[in-house]
Structure 1
Amino acid sequence: MDDLQDKVAVVTGAGSGIGRALAQRFAFEGMRLAVADIEADALDETVALLLDAGAQVLARPTDVTDAADVAELAADVYDRFGAAHVLCNNAGVFAGGLLWELDDATVDWVLDVNVRGILHGVRAFVPRMLAGGEPGHVVNTASSAGIFGSPYTGPYTVSKFAAVGMSEVLAWDLSISGAPIGVSVLCPGAVATRIGFSDRNRPAEVEADKGVPADDADTEAGADAASAAALVTGALRDTTAKGIGPEVVADHVVDAIRTDRFLVFTGDGYAEALRGRTDALLDGVLPPLIDFT
Structure 2
Amino acid sequence: MEDFDGRVAVVTGAGSGIGRALAERFAAEGMRLAIADIEKDALDAVRRSLAARGTEVIAQVVDVGDEEAVHAFADRVFDGFGAVHVLCNNAGVFNGCQIWSRPARDFAWALQVNFWGVLHGIQAFVPRMIEGGDEGHIVTTSSVAGLFAAPFSGPYSVSKFAAYAATECLGHELVVSGSRLRASVLCPGGVATRIHQSERNRPASARTEPSDDQAFVEQVIADTVAAGIAPEAVAEQVVDAVRTQRFLVLTHDAYRPGLAARAAALASGELPPLPDYETRD
Fold similarity call, TM over 0.5: yes
Does structure 1 residue 257 correspond to structure 2 residue 252?
no
Matches within 5 A, 1:95-174: 95-174=95-174
Matches within 5 A, 1:177-192: 177-192=177-192
How far does residue 285 in structure 1 lie from its aligned partner after superposition? 1.0
How far does residue 207 in structure 1 lie from its aligned partner after superposition? 2.8
In structure 1, the residue matched to 2:274 is 289
How far does residue 290 in structure 1 lie from its aligned partner after superposition? 1.2
Q: Which runs of 5+ in 2 are unaligned?
A: none
SS at match of 1:6: coil
Deviations 1:13-39 (A, max 9, x none): 000000000000000000000000000
How far does residue 287 in structure 1 lie from its aligned partner after superposition? 1.2
In structure 2, the residue matched to 1:194 is 194
**% identity of equivalent residues:** 54
In structure 1, the residue matched to 2:63 is 63
Deviations 1:185-243 (A, max 9, x none): 00010000000000000101013414xxxxxxxxxxxxxxx111100001101110110
Asked whether the 8 Å contact 2:9–2:34 carries over to 1, the reply is yes
Give the Cα–Cα distance (whole angstroms) in 2 for the partners of residues 114 and 254 of structure 1. 22
Q: Which has the larger radius of gyration?
A: 1
Q: Which runs of 5+ in 1 are unaligned?
A: 211-225
Give the Cα–Cα distance (whole angstroms) in 2 for the partners of residues 95 and 140 of structure 1. 19
**2:230 counterpart (240, 245, 248):** 245
Give the Cα–Cα distance (whole angstroms) in 2 for the partners of residues 196 and 80 of structure 1. 34
Give the Cα–Cα distance (whole angstroms) in 2 for the partners of residues 152 and 103 of structure 1. 14
Q: Which amino acid is 1:67 matched to?
A: E
SS at match of 2:252: coil
Matches within 5 A, 1:192-271: 192-210=192-210, 226-271=211-256
SS at match of 2:253: coil
Asked whether the 8 Å contact 1:89–1:140 carries over to 2, the reply is yes
TM-score of the superposition, structure 2-length normalised? 0.97
In structure 2, the residue matched to 1:93 is 93
In structure 2, the residue matched to 1:44 is 44
In structure 1, the residue matched to 2:18 is 18
Deviations 1:24-71 (A, max 9, x none): 000000000000000000101111221122211000000101110000
In structure 2, the residue matched to 1:2 is 2
How far does residue 289 in structure 1 lie from its aligned partner after superposition? 1.1
Give the Cα–Cα distance (whole angstroms) in 2 for the partners of residues 59 and 67 of structure 1. 18
Asked whether the 8 Å contact 2:38–2:62 carries over to 1, the reply is yes
Over the aligned positions, Cα root-mean-square deviation in angstroms equals 0.8
Q: Which amino acid is 2:276 matched to?
A: D
Task: Using the TM superposition, name which of 276-285 and 176-185 deviates more.
Answer: 276-285
Give the Cα–Cα distance (whole angstroms) in 2 for the partners of residues 5 and 292 of structure 1. 37
Q: How many pairs were matched up?
A: 278
